[in-house]
Structure 1
């Protein structure tokens, strides 16, 4: 496949993936609140998906590594996401919502790591950069959040059909990768156990650092929508506008991401991400108007995207090619499943503070404290040697 064609296919896939992600991740807390859940119950529901992912991700990664065509497996997962999202329609009350969330999360949490493994393996094989193609997902997430926020202002009952339709679209777009995807190497080859990927000390250290960063982001996801609509009396469109500002602010980083990774290395990028995340949480929590909270999201330029990009590349270079899917699944076990579950439980505890703004400010302590570990982190190699 010509390089231009490969770029277009991967960019198109990322646009579809992040459109679906913007629908669920950006507005599910508002859906829970509309179904009568308070801030504590919302935090528990937000923890359910990551906890399910602790078991779903390793199993899916192992199966995907054995699949003859990983992109077709990805398409099937999207279809299961679309179908399982319909379980939210009749769910009312905490326990039905918990069951619907757990079922949906069995599949939805596997989408990003499967897509990342496939995209990165093909880009590395072709010698192409990742940052600018990943930017298609950023733009799609931004526009999706803005448009869906305005759409849901007319009625939150539109949430579930929107999620279902966008995940179905993601499945269709994953066929862009499936149509010419190469066979996975070594289909019958015996692979080392999933956790054997953790034998590299530097990889373990970076995964633990990223886990703590993403736990802070988990608190943000659990509380931001509620803070905007309940504490600041903003609208769902304001929540979408905040997501638009945050995701568009990632573009400057993504334009130069591959160059920055080569020049600075993953450890330095993670430290920059910690500083940016701490400042964004603090300024968001101190906001006294929706406009101020929206403006604070511009600090996403040096936030979670930096951590996610650096770690995805680091893991992809650390693991053998035949374990590409398992490598990304391992990353998501740490930085999504364990981290977001921890973040949601932290959010539950922080809701006991006098206000949601105070909870966000208190959460800023976590990424700020990680900066104390700068010296041992900077001793690690900037990038691993390709396995």
Structure 2
């Protein structure tokens, strides 16, 4: 019999491997598209395809997971299909071909994260174990792969696809070792996903998360390009993402304690304020190496938003809708918001420049802090 302690280590290993994929794909796909010669507007279109597809894919796979006999099986199907479509990327640089491949890949890959979180958080809530160390393993895996991928991308940008396939296959294999978490609507009455929006507090928090994630969506797509414009290398870019990933560790060590003390709403508000300051500082920076210490601020933004919302949904949403809740949050917070940040940000960057757009993102984040600060003061 596999002990709880051994299963906990399997989860740690899974997250370390799984998050390596994000360090490769999210960081270096814009660099790959730039290498192919596409304009910022065209890159914005291609990078925003994923979030568009997620509008359909994430609710579909969330509902499928909640109604499946096993959420683990759905997750493995998604990994296998993601591996196959990733292998199609380097076969052509044609714009319309890339539209097709990105659409297919995102349809499967975009829900692996929230379904992984659902499986993990449901198991941990039954065993009274902490999510922080597991998620921290994902952070460290992301950090390590940022440097490794940067090393290979500097020499041959096409190597990112091989690395990603290897990582996804390892994650697929580790799922076999995870405890099986069933879909709570399997064989029962189906509950509509829209019931999630009857929770007023959840809707307010999702709206705040959406607005700050718009600015993060712009950052994820255009920071690598801006970094390269200022003379930074792919290797140095990898190190910058290594620093941003490692910066998440302090929060993860004390995440449960912090959330218990200040609550989800003020954690989200604090992350938004840090984002506003960070985008403003990026606007003023002109040397790529100066970005390295600024990347430390990342540890007070994305991971706070991600962890706070994931744990809030696991605690507040009925068990029959937990997978749907995580995928809907991922869709709104990291799907639709990324469309705004990537697509609209791309066209505006062609007009005003990436540098100026970071200033506008800072203004948006500061305005969000003021509006939701007022809302939370009146929160009953």
Task: Place the TM-score, normalised by the shorter chain, in its bin.
Answer: over 0.9
Q: Match for 1:288 among 275, 286, 296?
A: 286
> Aligned to 1:352, what secondary structure does the other structure show?
helix
Deviations 1:148-195 (A, max 9, x none): 101111111212212222211221122221xx3244445211122111
In structure 2, C-alpha distance between the alignment counterparts of 1:343 and 1:307, rounded to whole Å: 17
Matches within 5 A, 1:244-259: 244-259=242-257
Residue number in structure 2 paired with 1:194: 193
Q: Secondary structure at the match of 2:260?
A: helix
Are the structure 2 counterparts of residues 30 and 124 from structure 1 closer, same or farther at C-alpha, using a change threshold of 3 Å? Answer: same
- Per the alignment, residue 22 of structure 2 pairs with 21
Asked if the contact 1:23–1:148 (Cα under 8 Å) also holds between the matched residues in 2, the reply is yes
SS at match of 2:186: coil
> Alpha carbons of 1:110 and 1:186: their partners in 2 closer, same or farther (altered >3 Å)?
closer
Give me the TM-score of the superposition, normalised by structure 2: 0.96
Deviation, 1:353, is 4.4
Please give the residue correspondences for 1:211-222 in structure 2 after superposition, counting only pairs within 5 Å: 211-222=210-221
Residue aligning to 2:58: 57
User: C-alpha deviations, 1:100-153, integer Å up to 9, x for none?
Assistant: 111110011011011011101111111112122210000000110111101111
TM-score, normalised to structure 1's length?
A: 0.94
Q: Flag the 1:299–1:193 CA change in 2: closer, same or farther, 3 A.
A: same
Asked whether the 8 Å contact 1:191–1:323 carries over to 2, the reply is no
Over 3 Å counting, the alpha-carbon distance change for 1:8 and 1:380 in structure 2 is farther
Contact 2:66 2:321 in 1 (8 A): yes
| Aligned partner of 1:310 among 284, 308, 311 | 308
| 1:173 lines up with 2:171 in the alignment | no
Structure 1 stretch displaced more, 22-31 or 362-371: 362-371
- Aligned partner of 1:237 among 226, 235, 240: 235
- Kept in 2: contact 1:273–1:306 (CA 8 A): yes
Say which SS state the counterpart of residue 153 (structure 1) adopts.
Answer: helix
Aligned residue for 1:89, secondary structure, equals helix
Offset of 1:256 from its aligned partner?
0.2
Asked whether the 8 Å contact 2:285–2:291 carries over to 1, the reply is yes
- 1:28 and 1:108 map into 2 onto residues whose CA distance is 15
Q: For this pair of structures, how many residues does the alignment match?
A: 378
Partner residue in 1 for 2:40? 39
1:199 Cα offset (Å): 0.4
Which secondary structure state, in structure 2, belongs to the residue aligned with residue 36 of structure 1? Answer: coil
1:48 & 1:298 partners in 2: Cα distance? Answer: 29
Superposed displacement of residue 354, structure 1: 4.3
Unaligned runs of 5+ in 1: 382-387
- Structure-1 separation of matches of 2:203 and 2:182: 30
Aligned-residue RMSD, C-alpha: 1.5
Distance 1:366 1:6 in 2: 43
CA distance in 1 between counterparts of 2:14 and 2:125 reads 17
Q: Is the 8 A contact 1:267 1:380 kept in 2?
A: no
Q: Which residue of 2 aligns with 1:123?
A: 124
Conserved in 2, the CA contact under 8 Å of 1:33 and 1:42? yes
1:242 Cα shift?
0.9
